[in-house]
Amino acid sequence: MMFADRMLSLCQSKNSRLVVGLDPHWDLIPASFKAGFTDGQVANLISGYLNNVIDVTHDHAVAYKPQIAFFEQFGLSGLTALLDVLDHLHHLQCPVIMDAKRNDIGSTAAAYARTFFGDDLLPPAFPSDALTVNGYLGSDGIKPFLKQPERGIFVLVKTSNPSSGELQDQALAAGNTVAEGMADLLEQWNGDQLGEFGYGNVGAVVGATYPEHMRTLRQRMPHSLFLVPGYGAQGGSAEAVRAAFDGNGLGALINSSRGILFPPSFETSGFEAVREAAVEAKTDINRILA
């Protein structure tokens, strides 16, 4: 099954558009949980916390998005934790959107694709169903990621960070912005390789913190799934989230990381507070659509 079709089928069957971001901010992991581990148990601490999060939220989330930088910063211990988390997710048949923002020239992009998707030569080192990529090297840096229809990518188009406009909002000679130019490329890269829902495997990262861009970009990319960061802790608006969806309430996956991983009531309610935060986010997104 095409990646896009699998994700949209899950959205329907779970009545959810929620993606839970797995960003193990060391300083935000509750002290009460850390107390059960010694200094040398970094891998077990990180994977233990995140696997508990997954256990209480997977009924409400359609996918999980590990941010690889939060694992890489701990070296081998962090990567060991990531592999354990990926194994847990795959055991529960939860799709993985690896947030690694990879890309380079064609041959190097092919190595990145092999790292996360595998190929006939090697199995994936970090098995993922989709990957965030930087599209600014053009099509030869994108094509290596599109060889397996069951895998997808999300290309950076309009990111949620405050300084994104320094480049992405700049006008091109054609009169459109850099972000809009990238959006047009995504339509080309999807081409006629569309699934039963009308979406291709080349998705777009479009931040919820810029509602004025969301509607325009949705119009330019009618065949791209949107991965929408910035909802929740970053203050993404309901207006932006609503505009990311098509008329059937599909076409977008809304990511929430810190708001679910580290709820204020954790010290009193433990992982039940995490579950409640996921249910609240899922319900809020559905309410916006209604």
Instruction: Provide the annotated active-site residues.
Output: 101
The secondary structure of residue 99, as a DSSP letter, is: E
- 9 burial via Cβ count (<10 Å: 0-12, 13-18, 19+): middle
- Pairing mode of beta strands 63-66, 130-133: unpaired
The three-state secondary structure class of 100 is strand
Residue 139: CA count within 13 A, CB half-sphere: 8
Q: Is the separation of the CB atoms in 143 and 135 below 8 Å? A: no
- What tokens were used for 81? 């934790």
The secondary structure of residue 17, as a DSSP letter, is: -
Spatial distance between the Cα atoms of 102 and 290, rounded to a whole number of angstroms: 36
Spatial distance between the Cα atoms of 265 and 32, rounded to a whole number of angstroms: 12
The secondary structure of residue 18, as a DSSP letter, is: E
The three-state secondary structure class of 226 is strand
φ/ψ (deg, to 5) at 125: -70, -35
